[in-house]
Amino acid sequence: MRRAYVQSLNSIEWVMPEEKPNAPVPPPGPPRPDDGQGAVVAERKALKTKPPRMYQVLMLNDDYTPMEFVVMVLQQYFQRDLETATLIMLKIHHEGRAVCGVYPKDVAATKVELVVAAARRVGHPLQCTMEAA
Ligand code: TYC
Give the model confidence (pLDDT) of 19-38 as tens digits.
445 556 556 656 555 555 66
Mutate to test the pocket of ligand 1, among 60, 62, 90 (most ligand atoms within 8 A of CB): 62
pTM: 0.68
Cα of 126 from ligand 1 centre, angstroms: 8
Higher per-residue pLDDT: 106 or 39 = 106
- Mean pLDDT score of the chain: 82
Give the model confidence (pLDDT) of 56-86 as tens digits.
999 999 999 999 999 999 999 999 999 999 9
Q: Quote the pLDDT of residue 19.
A: 47
Contact 102, 55 (CB under 8 A): yes
Helices (H), the chain: 67-78, 82-95, 105-121
Closest residue to atom 10 of ligand 1, CA basis? 61
